[in-house]
Structure formats: C-alpha cells, structure tokens
Chain A
C-alpha cells in the first residue's frame, strides 16, 4: 500500500544549519494498517508525515502509494488521496468560513472544483448526519463561523473533514496534543471509530506512549531521523510503557532520561 524506501531528508543542506531530519528511512504499510509513531522531540516524526504529504520534497529515496511513485507530486496533488490532521486545531479549518462551508471544501477533495454552487442540498443533509454522529451539537451550528467553535470542536471537525472523502492514507500529527485531557479522549475515540469504520490506512504521531500502545496495530519509534524500533500487532499487544522505554535504551545503548517526561505525558 504505502512503501517508503530509503528516504532521506536534509534541511538547510550545505549550510551550518544542515540537519538530517530523516536518515535512510524505510517503512511499509499494508492496506488497513494503523501505525502509531513515537519518538523524542526533533526525532523526525513530523518530517516523516510532511514528506509523505508533500510539504517537503525528499533528498533521496522513494515513496510509493499503491505502486505509484508520489514523491515528485506537489502537495495539493497528493492531498487528493491523503487526509491530514494537524497538531494545531486552528490549522485544519478556515475560521471565517462557516461549518458547512468547511465541510463542503473537504467534500470536494480529490475532485475537480468548478463553478457549481459550493454546497448542495444533498451535501447539507450528509453534513448534518456526520456532525450528529460526532455528538458535539455541531449539527445545529452549520451556518456558524468556525472561529466561534472551541479547539476540541474544531479538531473533531478536522478529523471528519480529513475523512469525509475516504483518503487512501490518513496522516495524524499529534492531533490531540493541544487539547485538554477530556477533549483529547473524545478525539481519540472519534479517530478510532472513523478509522475502523472506513478501514483507513493510518499513520499517527503521538507523544503519548500509552496512546501509541493502545491505538493502532503497529508501532514505530523514531530517533534522530531513523526508525529504531518496529513492533507488529503481536509484539505491540504484550508491550507496556516500561518495556518501550527499556527497548529504547537497549537499542540506543544510552539512558532514557530527559525524554521520559516528554514521551510519557
């Protein structure tokens, strides 16, 4: 399904600030895989998602989705088959547009946009159903501007928008990190439900080890631009957070100190 092969990404190449954010990374996702991605700050997690989405071009390697090389496509072209949710709840929605307008924008993902009316009656009905399923009362706010919504509501909308047209691949970058624990839990449940219902192939970055173990069927750990640990379904099931930390120390041959706080919060 998604085959990443020997991908290297270097920022600020040939300057004093040169930084290898991804170092020869290879990763394969099967159809329906839900892979959680953990790693300390600056490990390259976001960069991995960003090179898949086309925000950054890669320096070498290949990225194939269903056998098609996508690493040369611009971001907006890849977006027609990749759904994304960002960490910042403000980033995923257009604030001065209404709830239904935002959903309509998402509804047109991957289709040719023309001079048809942006929202049809049929769309509205669908939006209502989908929003009702979120259980946040958003179905009564279809014509409200999104800037009036809370961060949690906006993030729930973003998850919905990223999956409204079924993407071949869903990329989630710490999409619950900026929310309070209660809201975060809701978004996690919502994510799990939507991913399961649609059998979405998903890559989810999280700082929360617990979350990384309980969600999804596979887990990878990144460190300094490399995948240092890859767990399949069975290995993952028997893992605890302490085991993960131990693994980290074993692989790296160094003590897991300042990262612990970050990784376990």
Chain B
C-alpha cells in the first residue's frame, strides 16, 4: 500500500512538469495545444538516444528542453504566420513529430535499464524511493518557481493578457503573435523535459508514449483547480502539481481494483468528462466561457 502510494507520488511529480506546460497553454494562453502528444515522446526520444550514445545524463535531460521549445515554436508559427487554427497547428506538429521521434530513436523503442541516467546517478548517494521523490520534487519546484516569477514579469504579464484579451493587449503595443509563440515554446520545453525524465524513470523511451498525454495533462490541471482553486498564479501552479499527483493516484487505484492498463485512457477521458461537468468546475468554466464570448 505504501509502495503504491509512493509510486503514484513519484509519477505525479514527474508528470506534473508536463501538466504545468499544459496549464501554460491551456489556461494562461487559452490555446488548446495538441503538440504535447508529440513533444512529450520527443523529449523521451532525445534523452534516450543521447544516453545510449554516451552523453552525460544531465545533458540528455536538458537538451530536450530546447527540442521541445522548437516544437512549440513550430506550432506557434503555423498558427500565427500560417493562419492555421490552433488545434490543427498542434495536430500537424504532433503528427510530424511521430515520424521525427522514430528517426531520432532509429527504432520504436529504446531501453535504458542498464544505462546511467540522472536517476541512477542521483540514487547512488541517496536511497530509493527518496532519490526519485527528491529529484522530481526539486525539478517541479524549480519549474513552479520559474512560472510564479515569470508570469509576474512585464513579458509574463503581457503573455497572460494575450490569453485573456488579445484585442486589449495589442492596443497596448504587444505583439500577440510573438507572445503565443513564446508561450508555446516554454510550454513544450517543459513537456519535453517531463518526457525525458519519465523515460529515465520508467527505463525506456517509446514512440507511442505520448498518446493521450494532453488529456492526462488536462485532467491534472482541472483536478487541481477543483481541489485547490486557482485564485492567483502561485495557487494555480501549485494546484496543477497537486492535481497531477491525485490523477496518478486515481489511475493507480483504478489498476488496483482490477482495470487493465489498456483501460486507462478511457478512464482518464471519463475523469476529465466528469470533472468538466461537475458544478464547481462548471462555474470555473463559465467564467472562462463568458470571457471568450465577450
């Protein structure tokens, strides 16, 4: 039981980095970005390839940040300069990334079980599961602090306003296209970082590992909002992390009561649907809807 709990917390933390990326696009930029399903395995693929090629695990964890940012920039350019709707722009990048990820890995799957990773490095001095929890907490806290700081800077505030009221912020001299591209870049950088860490945590990278990632991220964001609220940015970012852990616990619980792992996507979708239709969430969404129709 304790092991089950700890494993879920580990997963909740490492996937929270991805969920924070989803929060940035979905909630802050008001942009439903499906690039996530491609940039998550992109991070995993780059990390796995670099590790098996002998690069340092730290580099293999950080380079995906750049790769993910590039993926986000491409979606952003398709949307802003190419005038493709946000959803489609994300789907296009995601689809292209599927091929790219296979190219990077050279095969559908790279095992990392006997390789040196950031996790094996870290746990050489600290016993498990504390090493994992510590490493992932540290990463999550860094990202949360970054967002809590960045979103209150001049640029960060312009980015929030871009999602909130693009007319207004354009009339105040902000290039909303640039803000969208920036937001997508940061978001997908986090998503890829999460993918890189997950690959090292689970011991392999797989071309299929991104399927449904956006829904998992959304589930975390929404669960967090329902449980903790989202009064301000620091509240909201913390809520995403809490939401991610609760989501992983719920998934683990579902497995425990006898569902198959192949059922998990259905369960996740149902979870999101239920969350989206419960009254508390409804009122949160109503505010957003009023905002987008006005």
Q: Which residues of A contact B (CB under 8 A)?
A: 53, 74-77, 79-80, 83-84, 86, 88, 90-97, 101, 104-106, 108-110, 113-119, 147, 161-162
Contacts and interface: CB of A to CB of B under 8 A. Distances in A.
A162 B168 CA distance: 10
B153 interface: yes
Interface in B248-290: 287
Given A76-B173, A90-B294, A147-B291, A113 B158 contact: yes
B26 to A, nearest CB: 14
Contact of A117 (B152, B169, B171): B152
Majority-rule SS of B interface residues: helix
Given A90-B294, A101-B157, A96 B164 contact: yes
A118 B156 contact: yes
B165 interface: yes
Which 4 A/B pairs are nearest by Cβ-Cβ distance? A79-B173, A94-B164, A113-B154, A90-B294
B155 A91 contact: no
Given A113-B155, A118-B157, A84 B171 contact: yes
Contact of A94 (B154, B169, B287): B169
Contact of A77 (B160, B173, B294): B173
A114 B153 contact: yes
B103 interface: no
B170 A75 contact: yes
A97 B161 contact: yes
A119 B170 CA distance: 19
Contacts of B164: 94-97
Given A79-B173, A96-B160, A106-B172, 4 more contacts: A76-B174, A93-B168, A95-B165, A108-B154
B138 interface: no
A91 B176 contact: no
Contacts of A116: 153-154
A259 B116 CA distance: 79
Nearest to B174: A76
Nearest to A53: B171
A105 B156 contact: no
B291 A96 contact: yes
Contacts of B291: 95-96, 147
B4 interface: no
A75 B168 CA distance: 11
Contacts of B55: none
Nearest to A84: B171
Contact of B161 (A77, A94, A162): A94
A79 B172 contact: yes
Contact of B176 (A76, A90, A97, A161): A76
Interface in B65-99: none
A230 B115 CA distance: 80
A68 to B, nearest CB: 16
Given A94-B161, A94-B164, A76 B170 contact: yes
8 contacts: A76-B175, A79-B173, A80-B173, A83-B171, A91-B167, A96-B287, A105-B168, A113-B158
